[in-house]
Amino acid sequence: MTSPSQVPDEFVQGFIKSGQSLWQAMVCPAGMFPRADAVPVGADGTGGVGALAELQLNYFQQQLALWTRMMTSVAGRPDNATGISETGDRRFKATAWQDVFAYRLLKQAYLLNSRLISGMVEAADLDEPTRQRLSFYTRQFIDSMSPANFAATNPEVMQLAFETGGQSLRAGFENLLKDMGTGGLSITDQTAFEIGKNVAVSEGAVVFENELFQLIQYAPLTDQVATRPLLIVPPCINKFYILDLQPANSFVRFAAEQGNTVFLVSWRNPDAGCGHFTWDDYLSQGAIRAIEVALAISGADKLNALGWCVGGTILSSALAVLRGRSNTSVASLTLLTTMLDFSEPGELGIFIDEQGVSARDRSIGKGGIYPGAELGFVFQTLRANDLIWPNVINNYLKGKAPEAFDLLYWNADSTNLPGPMYAWYLRNMYLENNLCVPNRLTMCGTQVDLGRIDVPSYVLAAHEDHIVPWKAAYRTTQLVGGKTQFVLGASGHIAGVINPASKNRRSYWTGGALSDDAEKWFASAEATPGSWWTHWAKWLAPYKGKPVDARRKLGNKEYVEIERAPGRYVKVRAN
């Protein structure tokens, strides 16, 4: 097998001639693109003729420049131009993508064609929902066609195959067969972690359980604790231990170190026997029941509540129900990357339309299970170049085993959802956006109005969040009552939240003037280096109540310890 750094001269010359012929046959003919005078003009006059004509001209010029540079390089003259920039693109980090002309040509041609296709989507005269949908699927196609994804056009893969005598390709095929047997792409070493052993290890006990969730009370880490406990409601579409991965990056541990008695909801991973659970069940038998038990155990007058993502939507809905009943048992509300107004749901919205939601209503709306693996794959496609293609290359083309990474272990630990709950959530949140309209929805027999949530609220968004766009999370400040503190963290949906104070990484923005315009808030906000965790701890302090001596025995006479944390429910894996 020939090393990619030792390509024969005759191959080089043949490659150039073939490329020139292909370019002349497929790029130059006028029929490849519509004539400028045949392209419909957009409603605002900016699309159609001008946009597509400019794309066509730029494409021709860049193709010609690309081939000129490549032929100059083959002729032995230095090529000082690098072409289209791929700064930060990890797919092309190997030096061969720049140093070996054939691979450099492949890379530059791919990037050039990708830019053309994306530009044509942007230039098309389409309504915004259609444009977003087309843009998403176009990106999936573009990502899938990267030359890095194919053995013959990836220099690292070819070099490794050369060095191992082809054994890397054999191992990759074996990895492929193994994943086909399990029905999914391996993204981490599943044998490297065990829940309760090296992830989800904070000390505590399950003090209550029903068919829907277990309530964990964590052991105190300070001699004195606040009178009012902290209740955490994580998303039910993932396992809770993203908040308790390792001691060094555990939000649960951090909260306990701040003198909080921490209670946490561990949702059940639904099986076929749970196919009847509804959204109201997640409120009445989930969040509201957890509030009642935490208050009964702590003996406090009120508690502080925190919800993340869908857990925040569940918690906010539960609080709206409680406030509708004049219940004042919650002292403050913290929402982490949570949507309450779904008018701009980001890329997840492209999967939601009346036809699809109606199909869900018919198939599982009256009973059944929505498989977690399906939902997990949807989330992976939103970041295909991080979660799909690098693993395809590593596992199948290079024949390597996936690396051990706690975050990816959690990411692969999918959770099922009850059909009636999921179908109701899709329709009333994503499709019809009913929650943000006062008194439009009735939950648990009570009309809900988010404006009745008049407690102080801490609303965190993440600037690069692809699941809950930060401007969508910002709208919460205009929906809930009470004094609101909005904070914008750097990074994305997970890294923006799990940003340990001890590492002092990234940054966050605070202090902007609250209005109905998120951009105006950002323009007046100030950036602070480090983790938002410490900022939140200071914000929460006035609502915690006076300090009292910590009780080492968890639970009470009515709610005794059932088992040690993290409990059974979190260990159940989806089929």
Using CA atoms, how far apart are residues 517 and 470, in angstroms rounded to an integer?
12
- Residue pair 304/232 in contact by the 8 Å Cβ criterion: no
What b/e string do you get for 225-259 counting C-beta neighbours within 10 Å, with b at 16 or more?
A: bbbbbbbbbbbbbbbbbbbbbbeebbbbbbbbebb
- Residue pair 475/340 in contact by the 8 Å Cβ criterion: yes
How many CB atoms within 10 Å of residue 378? 11
Using CA atoms, how far apart are residues 101 and 75, in angstroms rounded to an integer?
11
DSSP state of 199: B
Give the angle 509-514-515 at the CA atoms, nearest 5°.
135
User: Which tokens belong to 359?
Assistant: 């199909």
Kindly tell me the sign of the dihedral angle through the C-alpha atoms of 136, 137, 140, 142. Answer: negative
- Residue pair 310/237 in contact by the 8 Å Cβ criterion: yes
Tell me how far CA of residue 558 lies from CA of 11, 216, 298, 482, in angstroms.
Answer: 80, 15, 12, 34
User: Which tokens belong to 365?
Assistant: 């709306």
| Rounded (to 5) percent helix, strand, coil in the chain | 50, 15, 40
Kindly tell me the sign of the dihedral angle through the C-alpha atoms of 498, 503, 506, 508. Answer: positive
CB-based contacts of 215, cutoff 8 Å, min separation 6: 206, 207, 208, 209, 263, 264, 265, 266, 290, 293, 294
| Secondary element (H or E) of residue 333 | strand 330-336
User: Which tokens belong to 159?
Assistant: 């070099």
| DSSP-assigned beta bridge partners for residue 76 | none
CB-based contacts of 260, cutoff 8 Å, min separation 6: 225, 226, 229, 230, 304, 540, 544
Q: Which of 274, 309, 436, 444 is catalytic?
A: 309
Q: Is 274 a catalytic residue?
A: no
Instruction: List active site positions.
Output: 309
